[in-house]
Structure 1
């Protein structure tokens, strides 16, 4: 494997227990599609520990052979790896078909169906599946990411009237990752605002967002979960204490109810699930 590929491989690997099932996400482009679709399938098996390795830009047979050797090493150690592939080249895909590995081609079946439906054959150009496609849509998403960064954690009041949604919640309830996901995946203009001690006691929403109450969506969680998350950031502090977390969550939920703000509990939901609920509740479209 060349040095560039090795660096990407190492950077995108997750530390997992030795008993975890190895899953390779292999792509001839960025690997985002392979990882997204593969992870969506694996999410249906929450009890199975997975050691994930995303390997992008495998667009040559030699590169695929290098990956095949890594797969063989896992098999040699007694593992049964799963390979999720978004690779258009039959020759490259063939190199990944290592005996003892389960190879799931995430493209071929659907492309064949589309060929039949559209009455034409697929393009052989590598990586075209991952192309920008709609340049205006691409730039809209980039603008949304810039907006999310500017308005993260209540840093800016500028342009809040243009926001599609304003996520409000106590610290560490999942505001920022949800904001960035909605911006990057759907091109939505999302701001978020932290509810702090300075915002209470109050009957109304904080002054910064009160004029935009109809755009607000609240997040909450369980006191224990919030305490655990905060403890990782500030261990043994008043900020992470169970009593403080309980107080902040109770005040936040009371505030949501008084002001008719829709909200959800983030403790057992992924960012993708939270984003879907927010979009549905707020009637948002990408």
Structure 2
């Protein structure tokens, strides 16, 4: 089964897409052809979106699904004229909140991702610059770090650091365990002062070999044997040093980050 889904928003569409994909993931066996339509913030854009959806409906003979986070009900009504199944993400929450607060929604557009707090925005930028400067052991001065991820090459350290920086303003560094570190089975001296901030990432050997093969085809670095050895040694090292470890093979970056925060006691809100 195939169905077309539109994520429509008066802002970036990130919220609609994130929530929508989480819902759609519950329906196995259905292939969803998704489209994001951001910044639908006036009647002209809403009419254009409705026409696009209506055209898709006519082509496929099945009504499209719309996951909608537009705040202006007038724009929602215009899009609804397309005949699509409308799923308003905000609808279940607005009326109870209006009753509880004794106030009506503003209907103002572009509120979800507006730069309402410049200090938080600057913190995200600074944290991102920090993650880039301290990626793969480029800079090993971790005095300002909130967390230092440790693991073998290509185990998911860099994307996790960047996610934590971009979304939470967390100063995350990462240190790749080298063959020398793994041979000695000893925590590198540069990491010892920051033991309380260390968190280990590991991965399935087969998956690691696939990732490395794409990066360096035909190299020893990408062989399954090398990956197995590195991961086994890294596991021994982190067990010996009592470093918490998470397997990233089947874990999303969002979940990895949440588990790191929970274990290290880092309390940050998504910006």
* Correspondence 1:87 to 2:70: yes
Q: Which residue of 1 aligns with 2:233?
A: 251
Structure 1 Cα separation of the partners of residues 135 and 107 of structure 2 = 42
| Mapping for residues 141-220 of structure 1, pairs under 5 Å | 141-158=124-141, 160-220=142-202
* Correspondence 1:77 to 2:59: yes
C-alpha change, 1:119 and 1:266, in structure 2 (3 Å) is same
Q: Give the stretch that moved more between structures: 171-180 or 262-271.
A: 171-180
Secondary structure at 1:103 match in 2: strand
| Mapping for residues 1-286 of structure 1, pairs under 5 Å | 20-45=2-27, 47-78=29-60, 79-98=62-81, 101-158=84-141, 160-286=142-268
1:20 Cα offset (Å): 4.6
1:47 Cα offset (Å): 4.7
1:76 Cα offset (Å): 2.5
- What do you get for the CA RMSD once the two structures are aligned? 1.9
1:44 Cα offset (Å): 3.1
C-alpha change, 1:111 and 1:146, in structure 2 (3 Å) is farther
Contact conserved, 2:182 with 2:237, CA < 8 A, in 1?
no
Q: Which runs of 5+ in 2 are unaligned?
A: none
1:214 Cα offset (Å): 1.5
Secondary structure at 1:128 match in 2: coil
Secondary structure at 2:176 match in 1: strand
Secondary structure at 1:173 match in 2: coil
Contact conserved, 1:205 with 1:213, CA < 8 A, in 2?
no
Describe the superposition over 1:158-207 as per-residue Cα deviations: whole angstroms up to 9, x where unpaired. Answer: 3x122111111111111111111111222211111112223231232223
Q: Which residue of 2 aligns with 1:6?
A: none
1:241 Cα offset (Å): 1.2
1:128 Cα offset (Å): 2.1
C-alpha change, 1:132 and 1:76, in structure 2 (3 Å) is same
Runs of 4+ in 1 over 4 A off after TM superposition: none
Contact conserved, 2:202 with 2:246, CA < 8 A, in 1?
yes
Describe the superposition over 1:69-114 as per-residue Cα deviations: whole angstroms up to 9, x where unpaired. Answer: 2222332232543211110111211122255532211123212222
Describe the superposition over 1:216-244 as per-residue Cα deviations: whole angstroms up to 9, x where unpaired. Answer: 10111111111112222222322211111
Alignment coverage as a number of residue pairs: 267
> TM-score w.r.t. structure 2 length?
0.90
Q: Which residue of 2 aligns with 1:8?
A: none
> TM-score w.r.t. structure 1 length?
0.86
Q: Which runs of 5+ in 1 are unaligned?
A: 1-18
